[in-house]
Each structure stands twice: as C-alpha cells, then as structure tokens.
Structure 1
Amino acid sequence: MQNTFNFLASARRTIQIEQSAIADLEQHLNGDFDTACQLALNCKGRLIITGMGKSGHIGKKIAATLASTGTPAFFVHPGEASHGDLGMMTPEDLIIALSNSGETSEVTALLPLIKRMNAPLISITGNPDSTLSRFANANLNVQVTEEACPLGLAPTSSTTAALVIGDALAIALLEARGFSAEDFAFSHPGGSLGRRLLLKVADIMHSGDEIPLVNPDTSLDNALLEVTRKRLGMTGIQDTSGKLIGIFTDGDLRRTLDQNIDLKNTPISQVMTRECTTADAEMLAAEALQIMQSHKINALIVLNEAGTPVGALNMHDLLQAGVI
C-alpha cells in the first residue's frame, strides 16, 4: 500500500524553518563575535572545541573547518575531558564550548577547571543567560525560535545555526590571516586542490631516456619511430649544442601526409614546428595544463634555463596525476 504522506511538504517546511534560523543569526551578531575572533587570533596554543551529543558532532565539524583554514584546532569530548583528556588543554589554548541550553552538565562541569587553568573561553549557546554563556569571555548567540523537529525535541535548527556561526568564525579568521588557496592546499595534499596547487611539472614529467628527441637530420620515418617508442605523441628536435630548435607532433604528421612528403628522404627539420611552446620544470603542473589548453596542444617539452630539454609530458600524464 502506497504511503500518502506528503514528504515534499515536510522537507520544504524543514528547509524554511532552518533558513529562518540562519537569517536570524545576523541580528544576534554583536561585539562578542569581534572578541571571539581577537581571542582566536591572539591564541598562542590551539583552539579546543568541546560539546556533548549533537553539539559535539557540530563541534567536531567546526574544529575540522578551523584546522583546515589556518587555525589549529581539535575536538575534545567533555565526558572524556573529566576523565583525563583535560590534560590536552593548556593555559595557552582557547576553549570553544557548545551547548544549546548552556546548561549541559558534562560541559558546565569543566568550567571551574577552565577558570582555574586561566584559559579563555568562547561559548556557542542558544541561551545567552545560561551558566555557560555567563562564564565565557565571549558568547556567540545561536538562539532559534523553532526547531524543525515538530516535537521540538531533536536538535535541528539549533545545530544548523551553531554550524553556521562556526563557519562564520572560521572564515573571518581565514580572511584576517590572509590564508591563501596554496595554504589550504598544504592542509589537503591528498585532495584535488592540493594536487593542482602543489604538484610541479618536475614531479610528473618524463626525463632522461624517456624524452623523445632526434637531431635535425633525422629522416621523417625514423623520427616517427621515436614518437612511437616514447609514446608521448611528439618528439623534440635538438641541435648539436643540445638546444631545442623545434617539435614534431601527431598534428604535424597529419599535415605532412597531406603534402605527400617522402617519409624516408625528408629530414625532420624540414617539417618540424620551429616556434614551439615549452614548459619549465619548476612550473606548477596546473600551469602546464593551462598552457596546453590555451594553445590547444597535448604535449610539452620541458626546458632548463639554457634551452636544453630536461623533460616531457602530455595530457595523459596530467590526467594520471589528478591535475585534470
């Protein structure tokens, strides 16, 4: 039997309630947010995030976002903190405690210890008059008028609001620090952004005997054998001093065949492309990709400062390295 419940209406209602909760956050912003940011910027230790239950889950995400955007942070479970993990905290650290009610026993139990340690505290609560908020150096008010849960029991709007204020804090700190995309990549070396921003041409290019190279007098058919052997879709042509003077690609071959050229008796210098685009070994792989795309080519010879080939790469190498 088909269920006649209107799932879409329920989903729209939830989204609308949580959108309203986020919109209300702006009116709760005050000088405490500035204070929180200054405390974080002046912190000589780490930002330690704590929270119980659903607030704890949000705290873990906030800690992860802070850590990946230039503010060292980690999460400590408040229950575990009371049984030894408090040793992770030092007076140099900044504590951020989440509790929608501001009265969560596992969190408030830590307050005297934090006070004794003389570590600054930021609270994220939905109750600006709570024990936690009164104890804090700065309180970020995430009060909501309505939970999306129709029973008013499951934290929904309140956890969304806490997550958004955590993002706001992280981004404000990111901007204040001048944290760059390259800085972000160093925290994410395994991600696609990290590969694009950290990987250099030297890390993925073919070098030594793997570079397709012939001299100017090499016959076209022998040059094609070099292209086939090295499997990069091209070969470079270098003079007697070792400098690159041209390139011959699959595209050049197609144009040559249209001219009915004698493959065995035509030197490669007669049909090569002299003004060729090249790369530098210290160039970012992403830059090499941009060069290929802008010039509509599929491979590059890599030169040193003297103009001597030291490597070669093609679009497949960039694809295999995850740059594309």
Structure 2
Amino acid sequence: MLLKDKLKNKEFVITGEITPPKGTDCSHIFEVVKDLKGKVDAVNVCDSPMAKMKMSSILAGHFIQEETGLETIPHITCRDKNIIALQGDLIGASNLGIKNILAITGDDPKAGDHPQASPVFDTNSIGIIEGVQKLNNGFDFNDNPLKGNTDLVVATAANLGAKDLDSEIERLKTKVEAGANFIQTQPAYDLELLKLFLDKTKDLDIPILIGILPLTGYKMAQYLNNKVPGIDIPADILSRMKGNDQKEGIKIAREFLSQAYDLMDGIHIMSANRSDVLLDILEALA
C-alpha cells in the first residue's frame, strides 16, 4: 500500500531517515534501506543536512526506490535554489516516480562545509507547500499552465518543543491551509509535552508523525537539550544517560514509544543510517 493511502486511511505510519552519501557510492544506504523494507512505510532522504554537501536528495531518493522498491520522502529546502529551479526539481521528481516530499526552509550555509556558498531563500516551506499543490493541479507557482501535472504528497515539519508553542501551532495551521498532507515533528522525549502538543493540534485533521531520535550518550543529550531549539529532554532522562551509551538511549526510546503509542498517528525515527538502531526501537511495537 502506498504511503498516501495509509495516511488517508489513518493507519499507523512508520518512517525512517537516510542521509545521502558525500560522493557517488550509494551501497551503504541501499543496504540500510533493504534492512528496513517491510518494517517502515517510507524513508526520508535528507537534503544536505546542516548545510553539509551531499548527493541530491531527489536523485538519491530515486536511486533508493529503483534499487529497493521502498518509497522515499526527499527533503526539499529553500536554501540552495530559486523558485524556478525548485519547480524544475519538483516536476522532475514526480516524473522519476517520487511520490512524496518534505518541505523545509533549510539550514544557513554558514553552518556547513561550504560557508562561502550564497543562500537563496526565495521562498519558505509554506511557499513550497503552496507551490506543490499548484503543480499538482497543473499550474506553476505563478499560475501559468503546465503540460501535465505532478502527483506529490507534501509533508511539513513541526517543532513540538517550541518556546512559543502557540505561535508554532499557528504556523502549522497556515501550512495545513497551504496544502500540507501530513506532519513530521522534531524529536520528542517528554510525554507531557507531547500530550500538550497533540491537544493543541487536535483540530488540524492531518496525520502527525512524532519524531524519535535515540540518544547515543550523555554528551549528545546535553547538546540537544542545551543547543537545539525546541528539544526539551527531561532531567530524569539526562540523569539516566550519564555514564551510559546508545543501549540506554534505545531503551529510553522504546519506553517512550510504549507509553505514547496510543496517542500517535505514526512515528518518524531518525537513526543516522543505522538500520539496526531503528529495528531495535521498533521492537517496542512488537
């Protein structure tokens, strides 16, 4: 069953995440995705995350689908291309058999491995969402007719731990009005915070996949909690990670999943190209 059909039928959805290679060798990501086939419904394909150059998310997504048969969700950012190039990529992605994309604004190039690169940001994630729906209806971003149309499901991101959660929810409402078909969130660790977020978004009426990011150690937990906006790690979890490694992080993720499963439409597991980690987490759902 296609991802869009599972979303439409309100079935529990599981997605993973892949970072394309910095180079031409896709063998490792193919191995990871083959391990995940039958366990997840699709895999996100990052678009040069943290502004560090990687293979095109669209082409990597196409190669993954051709090699493994598993659906992909390439990330499309506004960082590197103007709206002409973005539309060309989206049309090409649809013709290559890509069924889904995630629209995000993207990281500033100054944070990456090519700090001299010029940021574009012709539009933002809302503009991409609106544009995808126009392309799906046979028109470009300026309402000029196309010869043929795309057929893309578009996801959007959400920060469930935003300092100003009400403003985040208002922005999410705007994204849904623009045509977002489902939501994938930043990582969640706090059950009460998750409940608050889900309560505030209960009227959005589109599936929300909750982000799951297993901690690899105390240093990572501290960094996420102190440096990454919107990620709030409870004190008891920070305490548990002291002196512990990824095994404890996976245990925490599995416990969280068991506690929150009945509240969620699905999950998005970020496991850094580690199929073994993702599959270990999914044991909580067995």
Q: Choose 1 or 2 for highest CA Rg.
A: 1
Does TM, normalized by the shorter one, top 0.5?
A: no
Higher normalized contact order (CA 8 Å, seq sep 6+, divided by chain length): 2
Question: What TM-score do the two structures reach when normalised by structure 2?
Answer: 0.29
Question: What TM-score do the two structures reach when normalised by structure 1?
Answer: 0.27
